[in-house]
């Protein structure tokens, strides 16, 4: 059971559709249901789509974006794995404008996958008060359609709203920020992710998919 905004208690149901997401179009399939109970008085059921964990890697002439899809935050195995290559060279790195390199690949990947309810990115949602990070800019580009959770490995001094999360047996925190959901809820979800180490198992998996992808991926 998780406690969401406005005192809601969220009960995650078991997956209701056994679908091989690696080979089928899942746009018409339900992969999860979430029962929202508001003060034990009102009930609503809505369909929860995939949690998409996203990472990127850059080569001299192209950029690779990897996506790992999961049903539940604590899943130990993936429901979907995809790697995309940009047909264009990556934007040059500009301090403070990291999003310019990441955004095109992330948007293309999310469009291709389609059935996403939450996106988890490598980095910050907010870089400080009213300073948009990659996650906030992605949320804007998607017109607020889905929550974005940022998981950063390095502390950014001005990102004071980020919640420190100790994962697994590590004494070094991850820095979690969010838009579209409360930061404390995002931190709770990240803390619940599978794995005994600092970086959750499937965030490490998507990092590896991006870094180790061959140069001729489609």
For residue 104, the enclosing domain spans 50-212
Q: What is the CATH number of the domain that holds 72?
A: 3.30.2170.10
Please report whether residue 173 resides in a domain: yes
Q: What's the pLDDT tens digit per position in 178-218?
A: 999 999 999 999 999 999 999 999 999 999 999 888 765 44
Query: Do 105 and 63 touch, CB atoms closer than 8 A?
Result: yes
Provide the domain count of the chain: 1
Q: Which pTM does this prediction carry?
A: 0.74
The answer to whether the CB of 134 falls within 8 A of the CB of 174 is: no
Tokens found for residue 158: 């001005």
In a domain, 24, yes or no: no
User: Is there a domain that residue 75 lies in?
Assistant: yes
Distance CA 128, CA 195 (A): 29
Residues found in the chain: 218
147 occurs within a structural domain: yes
Map tokens 């690696």 to a residue.
22
In a domain, 39, yes or no: no
Residue 27 in any domain: the answer is: no
Q: Which two tokens stand for residue 45?
A: 């059921």
Express each pLDDT in 135-188 by its tens digit: 999 999 999 999 999 999 999 898 889 999 999 989 999 999 999 999 999 999
Place of tokens 């080569």: 59
């Amino acid at each position: 059971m998780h406690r969401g905004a406005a005192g809601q208690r969220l009960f995650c149901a078991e997956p209701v559709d056994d679908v091989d997401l690696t080979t089928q179009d899942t746009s018409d399939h339900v992969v999860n249901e979430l029962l929202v109970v508001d003060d034990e008085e009102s009930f609503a059921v809505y369909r929860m789509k995939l949690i998409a964990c996203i990472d990127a890697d850059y080569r001299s002439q192209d950029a690779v974006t990897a996506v790992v899809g999961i049903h539940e935050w604590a899943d130990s195995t993936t429901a979907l794995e995809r790697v995309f290559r940009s047909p264009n060279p990556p934007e040059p790195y500009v301090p403070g404008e990291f999003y310019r390199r990441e955004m095109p690949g992330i948007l293309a990947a999310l469009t291709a996958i389609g059935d996403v309810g939450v996106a988890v990115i490598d980095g910050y949602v907010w870089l400080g008060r009213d300073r948009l990070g990659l996650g906030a800019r992605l949320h804007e580009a998607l017109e607020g359609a889905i929550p974005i959770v940022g998981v950063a490995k390095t502390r950014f001094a001005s990102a004071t709203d980020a919640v420190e999360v100790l994962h697994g047996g590590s004494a070094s925190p991850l820095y979690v920020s969010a838009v579209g959901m409360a930061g404390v809820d995002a931190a709770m979800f990240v803390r619940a992710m599978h794995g005994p180490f600092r970086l959750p198992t499937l965030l490490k998996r998507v990092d590896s998919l991006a870094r180790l992808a061959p140069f001729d991926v489609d």
